[in-house]
Copies of this chain bind each other. A is one copy, B any other.
């Protein structure tokens, strides 16, 4: 097997790709890598392991985790008698992400709508701003569709569920 196709190499690449991809969504790269690691590994991961395996400072892990928890993508668990915190994907992180995107588009649309309402009626910018708002409204609606679609396949694909064979 070529050493770029070992599970470990694929895992590393996936984590790195996730970091870049989530960076484009406005999260720090390390937060994306944390998420990637949690997705790939599945089982809960210790705070210390995140820092050592991703080779970043504990401070970075702490702040990344905080962001991911705030967004509802990751949950923290503890265990009596064990000092480290553990982390794993939240229950349905993808629905949460979609809802977040939807919310941002909606806010932007409302912002534009507010501008439209304050403009003098005869302003010829109004038509163009309406088209602009319509753009965000259509993304908003589309996210609703995506959410529905995602929920439909939720029984098979929830964040933390064990994987069913076959499929």
Contact = CB atoms under 8 A, between A and B. Distances in A.
Interface of A: 5, 7, 10-11, 13-14, 17, 21, 24, 26, 39-42, 89, 94, 97-98, 101, 104, 108-120, 123-135, 137-139, 141-143, 145-146, 149-150, 153, 157-167
A165 B122 CA distance: 9
A164 B40 contact: no
A110 B150 contact: no
A161 B143 contact: no
A133 B166 CA distance: 12
Given A14-B112, A138-B150, 16 more contacts: A5-B118, A7-B119, A11-B125, A14-B129, A42-B124, A94-B135, A97-B135, A98-B135, A110-B165, A127-B167, A131-B157, A139-B146, A141-B145, A141-B146, A142-B145, A145-B145
Contacts of A139: 98, 101, 143, 146
Copies in the complex: 2
Contacts of A114: 165
Interface SS majority for chain A: helix
A146 B138 contact: yes
Contact of A7 (B11, B123, B142): B123
Contacts of A159: 127-128, 130-131, 134
